[in-house]
Amino acid sequence: MLKVVLFDLDDTLVDQEGASRTALLDWLPELGLDHDDPDELVTAWGGIAEEAYARYQRREITFLEQRRVRVREFLGADATDDEADELFSGYLSRYQQAWAAFDDAVPALRRVRDAGLVVALLTNGDAVHQRLKLDRTGLAAHVDVVVASDDLPAGKPDPRAYAVTCEVLGAAPGDVLMVGNDVEKDFQGPLDAGLAAVLLDRYDRYPEVEDRIRTLDEVPLAA
């Protein structure tokens, strides 16, 4: 019987990709960067961020260090830690201001609660940072349990992430439905760990996946 709906956060409940793009484009003039194709810089920043964050998830570097790596690689600068932190703060303040929940997020969370189910969150991120995001976007009041990867032995898609999360929830894997936008971390990984899962495919990127939804309005609540 379904007891818990376990949501991903970034690009599932919160438009992280949109916030990052908005912040970066507003930050570039401060850096003195001008480019004929801003999308190229957005793509470059995104690729660097993804790799640095993956290193953080593998416990190779800290959350703070992955920010410094992103700045140094993006600017090609041999900045000190203090210099990198100062530079990143220009992006971070804009990024936080741009945080916004998707329009379908709160209604979906309310619908899950109204069905008598637990609303939980499993995010690959720093717990303090992600809780701030929940507070700033108004989502915190609609989530019962938050599990962040820095509280776990490993992040998604490591099987231990889902196993320990289920222990925290006091639920068997088969009683938990994972909903998220990443094929590996939020869909195949949970399935392999014994959870139910549906892929949130807002932009129709994965037509080959059968168990996918296009909006959070479609989250299935039946066992």
Question: Mean pLDDT of successive 10-residue segments in the chain (223 residues)?
Answer: 97 97 93 81 94 91 95 93 96 97 98 97 94 97 96 93 97 98 97 98 95 97 74
Instruction: Tell me: do 94 and 139 sit in the same domain.
Output: no
User: Do 106 and 192 belong to one domain?
Assistant: yes
Residue 128 lies in a domain: yes
Residues 89 and 121 in one domain: no
pLDDT at position 38 is 85
Do residues 56 and 77 both lie within one domain?
yes
Q: How far is CA 78 from the centre of its chain?
A: 29
**Are 156 and 149 a contacting pair, CB within 8 Å?**
yes
CA distance 219 to 223: 12
**H helices within the chain, ranges in order?**
16-31, 38-57, 63-75, 81-98, 105-114, 127-137, 159-169, 189-192
Co-location of 27 and 67 in the same domain: yes
Work out how many domains the chain is built from and give that number.
2
138 & 174 share domain: yes
CATH number, domain at 65? 1.10.150
67: which 2 tokens? 């920010």
Statement to judge: residues 110 and 90 lie in one domain? no
Q: What pLDDT does 222 receive?
A: 75
Report the alpha-carbon distance of residue 105 to residue 200 in Å, rounded.
Answer: 12
* Residue 133: C-alpha distances to residues 43, 138, 186, 200, 208 (Å): 23, 9, 19, 20, 32
Q: Indicate whether 24 and 94 sit together in one domain.
A: yes
Judge if 10 and 115 occupy the same domain.
Answer: yes
Q: Nearest CA to 215 among 112, 108, 132, 138?
A: 108
Are 194 and 136 members of one domain? yes
In a domain, 223, yes or no: no
CA distances from 112 to 85, 126, 163 (A): 40, 25, 22
Q: Are residues 115 and 205 in the same domain?
A: yes
Last residue of a domain, one of 98, 115, 148: 98
Asked whether the bond before 159 is cis by omega within 30 degrees of 0, the reply is no
Q: State the residue range of the domain holding 87.
A: 16-98
Is 109 found in the same domain as 77?
Answer: no
- How confident is the model at residue 215, as a pLDDT? 98
